Amino acid sequence: MGVEKKILVIPGDGIGQEVTAWGQKVLATIANNYHHTFHFEEGMMGHVAIEATGEPLPDSTLDKARNSDAILFGAIGHAKYDNDPTLKVRPEQGLLKIRKELGLYANLRPIKLFDELLEASSIKPEILRGADILFFRELTGDVYFGEKKRSEDRSSASDLMIYHRYEVERIARKAYEAARTRRSKLCSVDKANVLEASRLWREVVQEIAKEYPDVETEHMFIDNAAMQLIKDPKRFDVVLTGNLFGDILTDEASQIAGSMGMLASASVGDKVGFYEPIHGSAHDIAGKGIANPLASILSVALMLDISFGLKTESQRVIKAVEATLRQGYRTMDIANKHTVNEFIMGTDAMGAKVLENLN
């Protein structure tokens, strides 16, 4: 039986608009092929919203977000703000606010290299082949939200690294549940040899681990993890880590997948899930019609799986992307100068090929 879901689409700025259109078309095609009903609404956020309403996240968008089953987001950002840090109303405030208002505490980032793109990464193919990692980065704690201080003479500064037990517990459970559906291995990354906040993190993860005896748990220090990720990415299955370490490790790991244009992410909390490519609004290529739409399309695959439990449909989308790459279709960012059997194309042609492969 088909499902009925409300999906809020927030294209945002720059290439966000160009790629999200294809994510939405993929959702519509899946609904049609599998007899589901997806009701789409659109919301504004970022620079476009500031221009239209004066607010980076208008209340109308937030209301729609609260009433939806899932959100497909593009990207926010505009050169105007990057070049003038003194501007008070800024696009990224919209993104931070919506994450906070929706209680999105876990950021999931799957890192999987399609075999067809082995040559597009700067890492050797024999090291990369078979790598398949799912990161769980905590999003609401750590040095980002702890107290910030500057001494009176402004010559010293500090940011408080703070974690509460409940914050670690809830994301650890989500990560263990996910590990059970994969290769049943979880690596928790911290710096417990030096940091008290990490010692709490490790203590709590060790407790939660007892609830999942079928999952193999490993604890690793962040410095070692950063090295192992490049040395032997295949050794990781689920990686669980805090906000700061996760921020750095996931960007490092994006190199395993070849291009920013290929990576999707999901931010989840207690209710609605928020799905987005990891890239930004890319002013350098916005409006040129050359952005890679695959990260947005793969974000849709995550939505179908995580928010709607539609695993077959999710796999179908991933297979369609795989087939498109196998046929040699590439956007500029994933083109390999040394390969002859490739057809370089723009956003719309690439999106259309994926749709063909879905049918």
Which residues of the chain form contacts with ligand NAD (CB under 6 A)? 15, 19, 75-77, 82, 92, 95, 260-261, 276, 279-285, 291-292, 295, 331, 333
Determine whether 84 is an active site residue. Answer: no
Determine whether 105 is an active site residue. Answer: no
- Nearest approach in angstroms of CB 73 to ligand NAD is 7
- Which of 63, 115, 232, 251 is an active site residue? 251
- Nearest approach in angstroms of CB 22 to ligand NAD is 11
Q: 208 vs 291, which CB is nearer to ligand NAD? A: 291
Q: 228 vs 336, which CB is nearer to ligand NAD? A: 336
Determine whether 270 is an active site residue. Answer: no
- Nearest approach in angstroms of CB 154 to ligand NAD is 27
Task: Give the per-residue SS3 of the chain.
Answer: CCCEEEEEEEEECCHHHHHHHHHHHHHHHHHHHHCCEEEEEECCCCHHHHHHHCCCCCHHHHHHHHCCCEEEEEECCCHHHHCCCCCCCCHHHHHHHHHHHCCCCEEEEEEECCHHHHHHCCCCHHHHCCCEEEEEEECCCHHHCCCEEECCCCCCEEECCCCCHHHHHHHHHHHHHHHHCCCCEEEEEECCCCCHHHHHHHHHHHHHHCCCCCCEEEEEEHHHHHHHHHHCHHHCCEEEECHHHHHHHHHHHHHHHCCHHHCEEEEECCCCEEEEECCCCCCCCCCCCCCCCHHHHHHHHHHHHHCCCCHHHHHHHHHHHHHHHHCCEECHHHCCCCCCCCEECCHHHHHHHHHHHHC
- Nearest approach in angstroms of CB 240 to ligand NAD is 22
- Which of 82, 132, 159, 247 is an active site residue? 247
Q: 220 vs 294, which CB is nearer to ligand NAD? A: 294
- Nearest approach in angstroms of CB 105 to ligand NAD is 17
Report how far residue 273's alpha carbon sits from residue 134's, in angstroms, rounded to the nearest whole number. Answer: 17
> Which residue has 């405030």 as its token pair?
93
Q: 38 vs 73, which CB is nearer to ligand NAD? A: 73
- Nearest approach in angstroms of CB 33 to ligand NAD is 25
Q: 81 vs 212, which CB is nearer to ligand NAD? A: 81
- Which of 97, 144, 159, 185 is an active site residue? 144
Determine whether 115 is an active site residue. Answer: no
- Which of 191, 212, 237, 275 is an active site residue? 191
Q: b/e per residue, 268-281, with b = 16+ CB within 10 A? A: bbeebbbbbbbbbb
Determine whether 247 is an active site residue. Answer: yes
- Nearest approach in angstroms of CB 82 to ligand NAD is 5
Q: 198 vs 259, which CB is nearer to ligand NAD? A: 259
- Which of 63, 100, 166, 223 is an active site residue? 223
Q: 84 vs 147, which CB is nearer to ligand NAD? A: 84
Q: Which residue numbers are catalytic?
A: 144, 191, 223, 247, 251
